A and B are shown apart, each in its own frame.
Chain A
């Protein structure tokens, strides 16, 4: 019985933590929010140099050839430090989709470049102000050429390529496009968490390459986000822990009525509730990490369980962190809002809480827990 990371994985995590602390990642996140760039290119470059973008890429494609568990511990630290980089889009989604479903030719061409940072990827699915489903995708492909508009695509400033979820004559396809080609226009769209830029992508007869089987794209997309959900959960528990730590520190230091506010049960019990939610999320994420790394058939249920718990934990921890800070928590100057906004970004990216609850229950119905 060992539902824990290995000593090597824990070492990797503590090195990642030290690195992100030294680089003042949270401060950089604020820098991006207040500046004109939509990600921190210097931090991103350093992350590439550390090899993190190639963690899961097999050695034959010049990556590190490590497993998902290594990616999980990195994700937790990126979340804790609000890293303003396109890691989730490029690594959890784009790279994982290519590893899993890319043709040998595409893998040979793209994977080594993901390791070096020459290629950065994202995935575009949403088209309107509602949840994307296999029935409401309008972007169309015909003769390999895609036309349509995607909105709310994260990290396009950094990205060189995108996977497009689009409609073909046989159903839904996953297709790769080069964002620099002239048949694509990209526009930044203002979003609530300005530390991670969002864009619209307009495609007019844009050349594309198929990923996976034609017409089977929605199932592939679901399987990619099931995997990514585990990694998102780790970012979310990292962020939850940071928000809880902030609240605990403030509750110890801030005095009211002659005592630290953390000695009053109104605050104490709030913080205990945050700890409870975080512990449930963490334990469920550990189990999902196991399911992911061992390719267990339990992954869809385990991933949705981790995702739902981690989304709930981060929402609770980030909002109650503001509450614990009182008026200060509502100011631009304090960091509380950075976590609040990131928690919402992470909870909506790859689908909302309601959607993941629905996925969890449908999967339970299918796997028939009784």
Chain B
């Protein structure tokens, strides 16, 4: 066992580090929101372009699409180094993490050449149109329709929880082309121009007060058949590729962590004594430290397998469940420590980070697979338990009960 990079990895890390030092600012620990009150989208695009020009934007992609053909371990080294710097996040992850791999696998060579470099450069932003009002965890229950019309398909229906739809240029979409087939068999996958006539986007206000995702309505939207990804009826298979990527992309919950709770507990007075002297606080800090480091060390085990050129085990599947719940608990701890004042909005970035954690964590426990779906996946794929009961198994889609929704 050792934690040393190989000489090649060390050299690669140094190259990443040098470029980042020249082009970004190191995190200081408590970050003021430097990106507030500015055009965040433009800042993020500028950063993406800068990375693209230097080959860092999608470093594991082939050169012709703007990457440098980096290995999995180099990709992780880059991500580790980049995460130490204060850079804009949250705009491109879905497109690059989910639409990118699907286009890479299913688009024609011309389409790849046209769309992938622009995606990597941040010139064009992509979103993912999967969930529907009546198809969340059971996303294969979706009902938006595609009807063939010559060389085109006509789309009608509604998508929901679409992150970034309001600033996206393109989207990947899965819809039902035949309700007479079983639900997994009657779906087809497309990509489309988000500025197409007939698309209406309405932001959804979240419990945080912000709006990062949307409802997207389709009324007779035309998609050329050439923008179909995979065969007619292969929609589920193609969607699974992206869902697998989504679980990797969502991963670790950003926000207040055990170091923040610990720093806070040492200085925050509660009836004249630092909170860290309180036994129940110490017990919680110990639990969060074990969780945070358990995830960190799990990642190191995954990296170890990757750096030997092996396929990592299933251990990374625990990441989102553990980190989103930890985030929620740490957020609550910070607010509770302030007693009544914990409810007050403030400019204090530390207090804000606990409040943001507490308000944002419920979303993370749902996005990209709820805690419950992820536990099903661990139980079925890792532990080998039987599939859940499926009351709709073998039924034509149109006959499946759907409640009132």
- Mark A residues whose CB is within 8 Å of B: 1-6, 69, 244, 248, 251-252, 259-260, 262-265, 267-269, 271-273, 275-276, 279-284, 286-287, 289-290, 293-294, 305, 308-309, 312, 354, 356-358, 360-361, 364-365, 369-370
Instruction: Determine the chain B residues whose CB is within 8 A of the CB of A260 once the complex forms.
Output: 385-386
Chain B nearest CB from A290 CB (Å) reads 4
Residue of B nearest to A273 (CB): B375
Instruction: Give the contact stretch, choosing among B2-10, B168-176, B234-242, B338-346.
Output: B2-10
Instruction: Determine the chain A residues whose CB is within 8 A of the CB of B33 once the complex forms.
Output: none
Alpha-carbon gap, A259 to B283, bound state (A)? 41
Instruction: Determine the chain B residues whose CB is within 8 A of the CB of A281 once the complex forms.
Output: 294
CB <8 Å contact, B376 and A265: yes
Q: What are 15 A-B contacts defined by CB distance under 8 Å?
A: A1-B2, A2-B2, A3-B300, A244-B383, A252-B386, A269-B376, A269-B379, A280-B298, A287-B297, A294-B1, A308-B287, A360-B286, A361-B282, A365-B266, A370-B259
Alpha-carbon gap, A262 to B374, bound state (A)? 16
Residue of B nearest to A263 (CB): B386
Instruction: Determine the chain B residues whose CB is within 8 A of the CB of A361 once the complex forms.
Output: 276, 282, 285-286, 289
Alpha-carbon gap, A284 to B303, bound state (A)? 15
Residue of A nearest to B316 (CB): A279
For the complex of A and B, list the 8 residue pairs with the smallest distance between their C-beta atoms, beginning with the closest.
A280-B294, A283-B297, A357-B286, A272-B375, A268-B379, A262-B385, A263-B386, A272-B378
Residue of A nearest to B2 (CB): A2
CB <8 Å contact, B372 and A283: no
The answer to whether the Cβ of B209 comes within 8 Å of any Cβ in the partner chain is no
Known: A251-B385, A272-B378, A358-B282. A287 touches B372 (CB 8 A): no
Residue of A nearest to B388 (CB): A263
Contact of A1 among B9, B263, B388, B389 (CB under 8 A): B9
CB <8 Å contact, A263 and B387: yes
- Mark B residues whose CB is within 8 Å of A: 1-5, 9, 29, 73, 259, 262-263, 266, 276, 282-283, 285-287, 289-291, 293-298, 300-301, 303-305, 307-308, 315, 318, 321-322, 372, 374-376, 378-380, 382-389
Chain B nearest CB from A304 CB (Å) reads 8
CB <8 Å contact, B385 and A263: yes
Instruction: Determine the chain A residues whose CB is within 8 A of the CB of B262 once the complex forms.
Output: 364, 369-370
Chain A nearest CB from B3 CB (Å) reads 6
Instruction: Determine the chain B residues whose CB is within 8 A of the CB of A360 once the complex forms.
Output: 286, 289-290
Instruction: Determine the chain A residues whose CB is within 8 A of the CB of B380 once the complex forms.
Output: 268
Alpha-carbon gap, A293 to B29, bound state (A)? 31
Known: A284-B294, A370-B29. A259 touches B286 (CB 8 A): no
Contact of A276 among B73, B287, B318 (CB under 8 A): B318
Known: A263-B388, A283-B301, A360-B289. A248 touches B383 (CB 8 A): yes
Residue of A nearest to B283 (CB): A357
CB <8 Å contact, A276 and B321: yes
Instruction: Determine the chain B residues whose CB is within 8 A of the CB of A357 once the complex forms.
Output: 282-283, 286-287
CB <8 Å contact, B298 and A283: yes
Instruction: Determine the chain B residues whose CB is within 8 A of the CB of A252 once the complex forms.
Output: 384-386
Instruction: Determine the chain B residues whose CB is within 8 A of the CB of A3 once the complex forms.
Output: 1, 3, 297, 300-301, 303-304
Instruction: Determine the chain B residues whose CB is within 8 A of the CB of A262 once the complex forms.
Output: 379, 385-386
Among B1, B294, B300, B383, residue most surrounded by chain A Cβ atoms (within 10 Å) = B1
Instruction: Determine the chain A residues whose CB is within 8 A of the CB of B2 once the complex forms.
Output: 1-2, 290, 294
Contact of B276 among A4, A272, A365 (CB under 8 A): A365
Residue of B nearest to A356 (CB): B286
Instruction: Determine the chain A residues whose CB is within 8 A of the CB of B293 once the complex forms.
Output: 283-284, 287, 305
Contact of B304 among A2, A244, A305, A308 (CB under 8 A): A2
Chain A nearest CB from B6 CB (Å) reads 8
CB <8 Å contact, B386 and A290: no
Instruction: Determine the chain A residues whose CB is within 8 A of the CB of B308 once the complex forms.
Output: 2
Instruction: Determine the chain B residues whose CB is within 8 A of the CB of A370 once the complex forms.
Output: 29, 259, 262-263, 266
Residue of B nearest to A247 (CB): B383
Not counting A276-B322, A369-B259, a sample of 13 additional A-B residue pairs whose C-beta atoms are within 8 angstroms of each other reads A2-B307, A2-B308, A244-B383, A263-B387, A267-B385, A269-B375, A279-B318, A286-B300, A357-B283, A360-B286, A360-B289, A361-B286, A369-B262
Instruction: Determine the chain A residues whose CB is within 8 A of the CB of B73 once the complex forms.
Output: 1
Instruction: Determine the chain A residues whose CB is within 8 A of the CB of B276 once the complex forms.
Output: 361, 365
Among A251, A289, A309, residue most surrounded by chain B Cβ atoms (within 10 Å) = A309
CB <8 Å contact, B294 and A263: no
Alpha-carbon gap, A272 to B321, bound state (A)? 10
Instruction: Determine the chain A residues whose CB is within 8 A of the CB of B303 once the complex forms.
Output: 1, 3
Instruction: Determine the chain A residues whose CB is within 8 A of the CB of B387 once the complex forms.
Output: 263
Instruction: Determine the chain A residues whose CB is within 8 A of the CB of B301 once the complex forms.
Output: 3-4, 283, 286
CB <8 Å contact, A293 and B385: no
CB <8 Å contact, B385 and A284: no
Instruction: Determine the chain A residues whose CB is within 8 A of the CB of B378 once the complex forms.
Output: 272, 275-276
Alpha-carbon gap, A364 to B5, bound state (A)? 26
Chain A nearest CB from B303 CB (Å) reads 5
Contact of A279 among B3, B283, B298, B375 (CB under 8 A): B298
CB <8 Å contact, B300 and A283: yes
